[in-house]
Amino acid sequence: MSAFGESPDGSIEILDIVPAQGPGGIFAPSCEAAISLAASEINRGRGILGREIRTTTIDGGRPPREVAAEVSALLATGMVHAITGWHTSAVRRAVARVNDGRVPYVFAISHEGLPEPPGVLMLGEHPAGHTVAAVHWLRRELGVRRWAIIGSDYIWPRETAKALRRSLSDQSDIVLERYVPLGATDFGDFFTHPDLDRADGVVVLLVGADVVRFNRRFAATGRSADQVRVSPAADENVLLGGGAGANHNLYVPSRFFLDDRLPDGRHRKARYRERYGEFAPALTSFSNATYEAIHALRGLAEAVGSLHVPSIQRALATGVRYETPSGPRGFDGNQAVQPGYLARAEGVEFVLLDRIS
């Protein structure tokens, strides 16, 4: 029953796209739980624009055309008011095409920094404040200069590598660059290539379970003792999947860490445990991003007074600010502005080192 005494037809329907299969499938249980927590918190208040919100999660781990076809069919009903996404950029581009600015679409994971159509709101990190910033921090603080890159073969890893290359004063500091299919169990000649020995560190632009497999293989070679890794697509699920022995010298940038020193970090973890108990999927940096996406929709809708995409676009152009449980936020164009951090893996947990953006 609606908390506001309304029929379901009077609710705000949010479509959440999260991978339930493929390398990103390891994140699904914690993401779905975090989305549910955010929705329940919003509905205990006044909902969005005074209306109860309802969330539906669909599988974003399928081929992009299949995800886009389902989204298109659901949009055609007129019953979808907003979309949030935690999935690959390849899926985002396909979904953005079929959405065509009809409803706001909050993308809550790091991206490649390319232009997006109206209505696509980037809550996740731009390369300059994420992977690129992490690489420059590691050079400045640890003297890591020469890099090898291993990535999945789609737009986000390739464009992120280009952004990294553009940021380096000496492009020869990238000594090896290889791409493998999503879900790959074999990393080609990466581990046997002689140029890997020239690298001080490795930028790991793989996804989910692929990062787990890579980290295990990397640790088994003994390279983790001397070569660092920076992996923007790793969260606590990845650390647990690899095991503590696979995580030595692993660094991860994110704006979604849940640390007791950050706003609402301790209390959010406590609310999550209260709702789901001690044996629920962990509330991780990635699932926290999906939580933030739901609250960003609420905050932005309340600030604008509407979920109408043209109204949101006009508000973005005038520097709209909105409230979230993490504090006040704003946008620069369609890119959310909020602090990012770098953490080091310690066993199966993260220790925050520094703010990098």
pLDDT digits (tens, 9 = 90+) for 42-79: 999 999 999 999 999 999 999 999 999 999 999 999 99
Say yes or no to pLDDT of 341 above 70: yes
Same fold, 12-125+261-338 and 128-256+341-356: yes
- Pairing, β 341-346 against β 250-254: antiparallel
Return the beta strands (E) in the chain as ranges: 12-18, 53-59, 82-85, 105-107, 120-122, 147-152, 174-180, 201-205, 228-230, 250-254, 321-324, 327-332, 335-337, 341-346, 349-355
CA angle 109, 125, 314 (to 5 degrees): 95
d(CA 327, CA 323): 6
d(CA 257, CA 113): 21
Mean pLDDT of 94-102: 98
CA angle 90, 69, 208 (to 5 degrees): 35
For residue range 213-252, what is the model confidence (pLDDT) as tens digits?
Answer: 999 999 999 999 999 999 999 999 999 999 999 999 999 9
Q: Which helix (H) or strand (E) holds 76?
A: helix 64-76
Mean pLDDT of 260-268: 92
DSSP state of 286: H
pTM: 0.94
Question: May I ask the CATH architecture of the domain 128-256+341-356?
Answer: 3-Layer(aba) Sandwich (3.40)
- Write down the pLDDT at residue 233: 93
Compute φ and ψ for 121, nearest 5 degrees: -110, 120
For residue range 145-178, what is the model confidence (pLDDT) as tens digits?
Answer: 999 999 999 999 999 999 999 999 888 899 999 9
- Write down the pLDDT at residue 277: 94
What does the mean pLDDT of the chain come to? 95
Q: With helix as H, strand as E and coil as C, how does 22-69 read?
A: CHHHHHHHHHHHHHHHHHHHHHHCCCECCECEEEEEEECCCCHHHHHH
DSSP characters over 299-348: HHHHHHT---HHHHHHHHHTT-EEEETTEEEEEETTEEE---EEEEEETT
- Pairing, β 250-254 against β 228-230: parallel
What topology is assigned to 12-125+261-338 in CATH?
Rossmann fold (3.40.50)
- Write down the pLDDT at residue 194: 97
- Write down the pLDDT at residue 4: 36
326 contact partners, CB below 8 Å, separation of at least 6: 262, 263, 264, 292, 338
Say yes or no to pLDDT of 1 above 70: no
Question: What is the arrangement of strands in the sheet containing 105-107, beginning at the earlier edge strand?
Answer: 53-59, 12-18, 82-85, 105-107, 120-122, 335-337, 327-332, 321-324
d(CA 207, CA 38): 25
Say yes or no to pLDDT of 18 above 50: yes
Q: What residue segments make up the domains of the chain, in order of their start?
A: 12-125+261-338, 128-256+341-356
Say yes or no to pLDDT of 3 above 60: no
- Write down the pLDDT at residue 111: 96
Confidence of residue 357 (pLDDT cuts 50, 70, 90): confident
Bigger pLDDT: 357 or 4? 357
